[in-house]
Amino acid sequence: MFGLRENSVLIVDDETTYVTMLTNMLSQDYMVYAARNGQDAVWLAKEYQPDVILLDIVMPELDGYETLAQLKSDEDTQSIPVIIISGHCDIEHEEKGLALGASDYISKPYSPSIVKLRVKNQINIVNQLRMINHLSTTDQLTGIPNRRSFNLQVNKEWGRNMRDKKPLSLMILDIDRFKVFNDTYGHQQGDEVLRIIATALKDSLRRSSDFAARWGGEEFVILLPNTDMSGALINAERIRENIEQIPITISNVHTVGVTVSIGVTTIIPAQEINQSELISQADKALYTAKEKGRNMVCKYDGEVSDWRF
């Protein structure tokens, strides 16, 4: 359930005494990580994605300002709020930290109550933004990501797979004769089918990088990073077979089944290819699956063809 994630704080200070003090202050309310230098802080921030970073300024090698600049220049860490903690209490140092993107500034020696309140303020902002983002990227009927969320995800994976020169696969899935089902059994039962299919798709994902979303109406999409056509087709056929075997209970009296048609394509992203081509190709393959009789997987690899083991 959304909202149960434990909030976390990363403390960055080369003095053990201050790390211990801050850990004792905050560990009852948050998961606490600690780094003794700027290099470790950047690595830990990327690895654990803390909700707030408490950053000392005076450190050997990579000081707090340089560490802050690195955090704010990396897309994986730039949105994490950073509270600077420094023995420098003049306006010049505070202004420099805020100009680099710090969210707040606390001077040493600090009051425990002030530290707790300022961390809590940042945590509250993070949680509110997370809730807003969750609501705006989740399909309210099925509980899985929505089309907006998919668009964000495909943008990210397109860039990543382009850098790595890896294949990116997409399947578009459509429930067969869904209008007839709605007309026969009612829209409430149709909504239940959408929820059942969404759960089946979510449960079918084998890797954390695989991504399923509701595209709209009775259509769903699954994005498979670093997956070639062969792997995508095996996944698509497994999903098609699993859905075909799901019993749908009607009014607690009898059960019926539903089937899906799936279009699959694979592209190695490149600068000269528009990512909309990925969706267009999968959509063409889906259209062919519908034309050929439904309840099948079709692939696009320059032309559309059906696929069987």
Q: Catalytic residue positions?
A: 218
- If DSSP states are collapsed to H, E and C, what string results for the chain? CCCCCCCEEEEECCCHHHHHHHHHHHCCCCEEEEECCHHHHHHHHHHHCCCEEEEECCCCCCCHHHHHHHHHHCCCCCCCCEEEEECCCCHHHHHHHHHCCCCEEEECCCCHHHHHHHHHHHHHHHHHHHHHHHHHCECCCCCCECHHHHHHHHHHHHHHHHHHCCCEEEEEEEECCHHHHHHHHCHHHHHHHHHHHHHHHHHHCCCCCCEEEEEECCEEEEEEECCCHHHHHHHHHHHHHHHHCCCEEECCCEEECCCEEEEEEEECCCCCCCCHHHHHHHHHHHHHHHHCCCCCEEEECCCEEECCC
- Look at residues 286, 274, 301 and name the one whose alpha carbon lies nearest to residue 158: 274
Tokens 């425990």 label which residue? Answer: 112
